[in-house]
Structure 1
Amino acid sequence: MGRYNQQRNFLKSNFAEFKTIATDAKKGFPQPPKVKPCDSNSKLIDLPMVNENTLTNKNIYTCIKERRSTRFYSNRPISLEELSYLLWATQGITGMNKAGLTFRTVPCSGATHSFESYLLIRNVENIPQGVYRYLPMEHRLLFMFELDELEHKIDEITLDQPFVPNFANKAAVLFLWSTTPYRSEWKYDITAHKKILIDIGHVCQNLYLASESIDAGTCAIGIYDQALVDQMLGLDGEEEFVIYLAAVGKKP
């Protein structure tokens, strides 16, 4: 049992220790950027305004009851309106206070929002295949680059899935969430990392329920090649790195 102890302690609250720490926020260090910037010459795609007409199932009870991890997808594409809704449901901004803290569709410890949403788009109407990043402040997609042999690359980064091998390469979209830990560490120091993992769980659950409401299915992916996916997205693997994946596609 001894080899489990360190990881089990990570699961526990260490608030007593946190109270003795002078965090960077308390020291007056500048807060890190709330969102990742983009180049002014970037190719941006406006996303449709989100409204409830996109939903095929507005009954939250049914969405919760029928939620399953879906590993089989039809060839039907996801519409741009539906993708806009899924992005809004997982990281969309619904308000901002006087201090500049954003209110989003998902809860987050201290509104630190350490995540960026990257997308490997395979089958979305009127959107070329490739790698994209969601810009929540503008509610836009940033086109990053095309990816040769997209389905093969998805296979490489998602490794050996135990139940349905290579299922992710049939999804319409693969969500890849990265974290920039210092956004939370600045405020919460050594207690940040448990909070980050809790918060990304909120994000993915919203994706599950939002997908159910548009006749799509989601499957969260925790088995992936860390170094390969970080390299593919151009992340340094230390100050920013992928923390969670999820495949989304229309149900058969």
Structure 2
Amino acid sequence: MGKYEVERNFLKSNFYKLKSIKTDKMKGLPQPEGIKRYNPDSKIISLPTVSADILKKQDIFQCIEDRRSIRQYSEEAISLAELSYLLWVTQGITGTNKAGLTFRTVPCSGATHTFETYLFIMNVVGLEKGIYRYLPMEHALLFLFPLEDIDKKLDEISLEQPFIPHFTKKSAITFAWSTTPYRSEWKFDVSAHKKILIDVGHICENLYLAGESLDMGVCAIGIYDQDAVDNLLQLDGDEEFIIYLAAVGKKKSKR
């Protein structure tokens, strides 16, 4: 395998290693908080109740068949109701158990849910351009800060995209998912990291299908400047860092 050996081995299951490891959970160490704290005096925007009434397509077969990575967007704004739906579909809470673990709209290894959803919002009706974070327990948006030249900064972060360069800055919203690995490491130790990557794939696929159900374009972004995006979102880059992005916008009409 040569130079690929380490990376290929990472892709394999190593769950057997846990049999010889005493995890932090087993040691009785406190479970990390499942959702990042915020200042209660911050600006919070309540999101509309999620409803199927806004869907353009309700046939899941059709959504799967039509799904494509779309990199060209119209200048039409996304509504708050549409954004509410996209956030609920990707990280919405649908229940809790007696231990306080959350059940969400996406599967997750051991209900560890290591992710936070940050948003570069550029064209949403009624929202100021800037950086936001989704609060799943409240189903609300936390306004973090305005960002001058947000499109240019997003373009710089997303580096040289193949196929259609600079498409991210023309999106209405770009999702940026961070991970806090210790939420999973506490329970799964060295087996946590593969699980995290699998779980974030579930999230992005839900976004793709939800976008298609609204006749929106979605394109996942795996090429980005790690340090730049972490610094911009004020993440430490170690205990929490961005792991995946996806651009969203209304599709251009076909002529």
Both proteins in one fold, TM over 0.5: yes
Offset, 1:182: 0.2
Structure 1 distance, partners of 2:18, 2:74, is: 48
The answer to whether structure 1 residue 140 and structure 2 residue 128 are counterparts is no
Structure 2 distance, partners of 1:33, 1:53, is: 34
Structure 2 distance, partners of 1:26, 1:54, is: 46
Structure 2 distance, partners of 1:16, 1:89, is: 33
Structure 2 distance, partners of 1:242, 1:104, is: 20
The answer to whether structure 1 residue 182 and structure 2 residue 182 are counterparts is yes
Structure 1 distance, partners of 2:75, 2:48, is: 23
Q: Counterpart of 2:187 in 1: which secondary structure?
A: helix
Q: Which residue of 2 aligns with 1:3?
A: 3
Letter in structure 1 aligned against 2:96:
M
The answer to whether structure 1 residue 77 and structure 2 residue 81 are counterparts is no
Q: Which residue of 1 aligns with 2:239?
A: 239
Q: Map 1:6-85 to 2 at 5 A.
A: 6-85=6-85
Structure 1 distance, partners of 2:40, 2:80, is: 23
Q: Counterpart of 2:20 in 1: which secondary structure?
A: coil
Offset, 1:5: 0.8
Q: Counterpart of 1:19 in 2: which secondary structure?
A: helix
Structure 2 distance, partners of 1:29, 1:55, is: 44
Structure 1 vs Structure 2 CA RMSD: 0.5
The answer to whether structure 1 residue 167 and structure 2 residue 149 are counterparts is no
Q: Which residue of 1 aligns with 2:207?
A: 207
Q: Which runs of 4+ in 1 moved over 4 A?
A: none
Structure 1 distance, partners of 2:247, 2:150, is: 14
Letter in structure 2 aligned against 1:120:
F
Listed one character per residue, the Cα deviations across residues 51-103 of structure 1 (whole Å, up to 9, x for unaligned) are 11011110100000000000000011110000000000000000011110100
Return 5+ residue gaps in structure 2 as ranges.
none
Paired residues, number: 252
> Normalized against structure 2, the TM-score is what?
0.98
> Normalized against structure 1, the TM-score is what?
0.99
Structure 2 distance, partners of 1:5, 1:18, is: 21
The answer to whether structure 1 residue 116 and structure 2 residue 116 are counterparts is yes
Offset, 1:40: 1.3
Offset, 1:15: 1.5
Structure 1 distance, partners of 2:104, 2:112, is: 11
Offset, 1:175: 0.2
Offset, 1:234: 0.3
Letter in structure 2 aligned against 1:168:
T
Listed one character per residue, the Cα deviations across residues 136-191 of structure 1 (whole Å, up to 9, x for unaligned) are 00000000000011111011100000110000001000000000000000000000
Offset, 1:16: 1.3
The answer to whether structure 1 residue 106 and structure 2 residue 106 are counterparts is yes
Letter in structure 2 aligned against 1:17:
K
